Copies of this chain bind each other. A is one copy, B any other.
Amino acid sequence: MLKGPFLDKDFIGSNKNYDKADIVMLGMPYDCTCTNRAGTRFAPQQIRVESIGIETYSPYFDKDISDIEFFDAGDLEFPFGNAEKMLKITEENVDCIYKDNKKLLGIGGEHLVTLGSIRALKKYYKNIAVVQFDAHTDLRDEYLGEKYTHSGVMKQIANLIGFENIAQIGIRSGEKQEFSLMQKYNTHKFSPAELDIFSDKKIFITIDLDVLDPSLMSGVGTPEAGGMSYIELINWLKYLKKFDITGIDIVELAPDIDTTKTSTATACKLIRECLSIL
């Protein structure tokens, strides 16, 4: 055999043993329903490659992810242009993770992948709440006639777990009717303490990276000015740390759009912070 030393092909700081892992990182490279620029399909690969460039230590959480037992499972292979099949494959694999009593760290792909994860999660836990960080409401019933799109994923999830178990943070774009829905069900949250209603729930956090201001996170399909700073997002995560979190996913990075690679590097660091609170 070769002597090496070799660079790691997996996310920096991961270990190689699925059985010992508490957390499973799973790539979900699907992007066929995007309504604007595509390319989220390439995110998990580029995140893995770029992760070599970040530090494993998070000064925000004073934690080194080398000390966390997480396994990088690689990327699922999906058919193109078939949302149903994608959802089924995602659900089946996330099902394994929860059956094995582990937690999920999902990496999209477009936001629709979250629906597959929640479908699996729902089989194992009754008392679920989903905390969504996003620029968009994602509450459409359908988009140009299609039901399963990244513009309606939270509506589908609400159908599964109820609007009362959803919190929406950072929202600043949507149709008038979508904003009315948020108001009706009071899902739009503006301060961390509003999340205390979920203190006895199993929390799933879904982070659409466009919740961050496009000045920092330009590598997304639909940049929306007026978003969060990185520190603001970290502060939300610091508050959420005390909750019972069973899974997190980070979606909608389109790495090729931001040729400075700031977006991809920021996603890598955010994954580091998320591993720190899981």
Q: Using CB atoms and an 8 Å cutoff, list the residues of chain A in contact with chain B.
A: 1-7, 9-10, 18, 24, 26-27, 29, 31-39, 42, 45-46, 49, 53-57, 59-60, 64, 73-83, 85, 89, 92-93, 96-97, 143-146, 148-149, 171-176, 179, 213-216, 218-219, 222-226, 229-231, 234, 256-262, 265-266, 269
Contact = CB atoms under 8 A, between A and B. Distances in A.
A4 B265 CA distance: 27
Given A6-B73, A74-B9, A266 B96 contact: no
Given A38-B31, A79-B145, A230 B223 contact: no
Contacts of A225: 216, 230, 262, 265-266, 269
Given A6-B74, A77-B6, A146-B81, A37 B261 contact: yes
Given A218-B262, A262-B223, A59 B179 contact: yes
Copies per assembly: 6
Contacts of A55: 173-175
A143 B79 CA distance: 8
Contacts of A10: 9
B173 A59 contact: yes
Nearest to A230: B225
Given A49-B46, A223-B265, A2 B39 contact: no
A244 to B, nearest CB: 24
A77 to B, nearest CB: 4
